[in-house]
Every structure is written in structure tokens, then in C-alpha cells.
């Protein structure tokens, strides 16, 4: 695959997160799902050489966990602290991406010492281009969970459907819950995109993603604000901020005015 130039931004890259205080003690233990994930990744790299695998990255919370777990495991497998520079990571940029996601992707490159190849376009055609540009690829690590659309019956290692480009899909996080993801990110102090601290719980593009109305509240001055993503109590509402702009209600009242911590351009449309 051809490497794209290093991502740049006119806005400063935000710093690594500090250790978080007052974290919900009810965030679940992730030991069992982590061990399961490590076994799947180990199986992947027993079956395929490092150069035959790429990790699909979009800047979201799930693939961030996957990248963190994979790199730590590869360091152990190969007994090499700098093995991350040999891991192929492809950032598939969505149309109309958030500036915050673009900045976070650059931070990921620096933090993990990885070189991201940047691709754009619809997923199926982009995957075809990836495979055409790098004929050695045989497997793709993905951060898919069973609660994602059309993913309930997936296997950990499964070949793509006949109408998709041919490759093994490896989905080590299938059995992780929304709160497992946040428990890992917070307790392991893993960097993540700062949109999640502004009420976003599932991030797509600037055209279809909004702060989750389930996290809305009125601050002391009466303005609408949002709790961070890990505070979402009902995981079934993870994607409630996707689609058309929501009209959040607080205390039974519509709160479509006076929005803070909302869209990347400052307004919700």
C-alpha cells in the first residue's frame, strides 16, 4: 500500500489524557473479554505473518481499544518494543470527518509509533483498493462488536462474504460491551478522541453524528451541556446520536436552544 503523507492540522493536537478522577466504580471488569481478545489475536498471528495483516482504524473508541491491545500483545509475541512500526494500520477516512478525529489520528501515530496509511471512500471499494495495492494482505483486524449493525452472528475469524473483496475478517472485540470498552480506556488510561468527552457516544461524520441526547443536562447557567460518553447508563442508546439531529429533552422540556459542547462547528443543524 502506498503511504499517505503524515496528517497535519492547523489546530493543535490535544495532549494525552490525565488520569481521570471520580470514575464510576461500576464500570465492569474486562478481564475475561480481554483474555478472549488476546487469544483471538494470538491465533491470527499464528496463522498469518505480521506483514499479511492490517488493522482497520477509524479513530473511534472500539478500534482504539483494539489497537492498544494488539500492540501490547505484539510486543510480547515478538519481544520487541518497537514492533508497532511494522504493524500495518489503515485509517479509512469518512466523508466529512470531524476535525477532532483527524487530530486524534495524528496523536495515535505519535503515541504508538505507527505509520497510518490513509484511504478514503466507501468501505467495500476502499477495501478492494487496499488489497490491490498490497497483495500480501490476507487478514484484517477490526474493532467490530456484536451490538454493531449486522454483527450479531459474526465469528471471531470469518471470511468476507462472496460479494466483498476476499480477506479474513478478524474481530477480537466481538463480545465486548459498550461499558467494557470504556472500562478499558479509562482504567488503562488509553488516549481517545475528545469528542467522547462532549457527549458523543458513536462517531460517524459531521453530517450524521451529534451529541447523544441521553447525556444532555442543563448546567448551572441553564445552558445545554452533555456528560462524557462513559456516563451513558443504557448501552442500547449508544447510537442515539446518529442520524438526523436529535432534539434532546431535559426535565421534560425540549432543549434545542443554547447548545454547548455540541457540533464541531459550534452549532447543531
Position 251 pLDDT exceeds 50: no
Res 257: pLDDT: 37
Position 171 pLDDT exceeds 70: yes
154 & 249 share domain? no
Percentage of the residues of the chain whose pLDDT score is greater than 90: 77
Of 135, 153, 178, the residue at which a domain comes to its end is: 178
Res 123: pLDDT: 87
73 & 147 share domain? yes
121 & 229 share domain? no
Rounded mean pLDDT, 45-53: 97
184 part of a folded domain: no
Q: Cα–chain-centroid distance for residue 99?
A: 15
Position 265 pLDDT exceeds 80: no
174 & 205 share domain? no
Domain of 78: which CATH number?
Answer: 3.40.50.620
Higher-scoring residue by pLDDT: 111, 18: 111
Higher-scoring residue by pLDDT: 235, 18: 235
Query: pLDDT category, 246, cuts 50, 70, 90?
Result: low
Which grid coordinates are listed for 149?
A: 449493525
Across the chain, mean pLDDT equals 86
Rounded mean pLDDT, 133-153: 95
173 & 201 share domain? no
Position 117 pLDDT exceeds 90: yes
65 & 167 share domain? yes
174 & 127 share domain? yes
Position 20 pLDDT exceeds 50: yes
186 part of a folded domain: no
Of 154, 178, 202, the residue at which a domain comes to its end is: 178
146 & 210 share domain? no
Position 260 pLDDT exceeds 50: no
95 part of a folded domain: yes
Res 121: pLDDT: 85
DSSP string, 199-264: T-SS---TTTB---GGGEEE-TTS-EEE--GGG-S-GGGTTTTBSSPP--EETTEE--SSB-S--T
130 & 202 share domain? no
39 part of a folded domain: yes
Number of domains in the chain: 2
187 part of a folded domain: no
pTM metric for this prediction: 0.83
Question: Could you list the residue range(s) of the whole structural domain that residue 260 is in?
Answer: 193-269
Position 23 pLDDT exceeds 80: no
E strands, 102-144, in order: 116-120, 139-141
Higher-scoring residue by pLDDT: 26, 145: 145
173 & 204 share domain? no
Of 134, 155, 178, the residue at which a domain comes to its end is: 178
251 part of a folded domain: yes
- Look at strands 168-170 and 216-218 and give their pairing: unpaired
Rounded mean pLDDT, 104-129: 94
Position 228 pLDDT exceeds 60: yes
139 & 45 share domain? yes
90 & 205 share domain? no
- Residue 187 φ then ψ, to 5°: -70, -30
Amino acid at each position: 500500500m502506498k503511504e499517505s503523507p503524515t496528517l497535519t492540522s492547523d489546530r493543535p493536537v490535544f495532549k494525552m489524557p490525565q488520569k481521570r478522577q471520580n470514575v464510576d466504580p461500576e464500570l465492569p471488569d474486562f478481564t475475561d473479554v480481554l483474555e478472549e481478545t488476546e487469544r483471538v489475536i494470538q491465533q491470527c498471528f499464528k496463522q498469518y505473518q505480521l506483514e499479511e495483516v492490517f488493522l482497520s482504524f477509524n479513530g473511534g473508541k472500539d478500534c482504539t481499544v483494539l489497537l492498544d491491545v494488539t500492540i501490547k500483545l505484539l510486543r510480547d509475541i515478538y519481544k520487541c518494543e518497537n514492533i508497532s512500526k511494522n504493524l500495518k494500520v489503515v485509517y479509512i477516512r469518512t466523508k466529512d470527518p470531524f476535525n477532532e478525529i483527524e487530530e486524534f489520528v495524528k496523536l495515535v501515530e505519535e503515541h504508538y509509533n505507527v505509520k497510518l496509511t490513509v484511504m478514503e471512500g466507501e468501505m467495500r471499494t476502499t477495501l478492494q483498493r487496499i488489497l490491490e495495492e498490497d497483495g500480501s494482505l490476507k487478514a484484517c483486524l477490526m474493532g467490530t462488536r456484536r451490538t454493531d449493525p449486522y454483527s450479531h452472528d459474526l465469528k471471531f475469524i470469518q471470511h468476507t462474504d462472496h460479494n466483498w473483496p476476499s480477506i479474513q475478517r478478524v474481530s477480537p472485540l466481538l463480545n465486548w460491551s459498550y461499558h467494557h470498552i470504556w472500562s478499558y480506556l479509562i482504567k488503562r488510561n488509553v488516549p481517545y478522541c475528545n469528542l467522547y468527552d462532549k457527549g458523543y457516544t458513536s462517531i460517524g461524520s459531521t453530517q450524521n453524528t451529534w451529541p447523544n441526547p441521553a447525556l444532555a443536562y442543563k448546567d448551572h447557567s441553564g445552558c445545554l451541556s452533555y456528560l462524557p460518553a462513559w456516563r451513558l447508563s443504557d448501552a442500547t442508546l449508544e447510537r442515539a446520536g446518529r442520524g438526523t439531529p436529535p432534539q434532546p429533552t431535559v426535565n421534560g422540556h425540549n432543549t434545542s436552544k443554547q447548545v454547548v459542547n455540541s457540533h464541531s462547528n459550534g452549532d447543531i443543524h
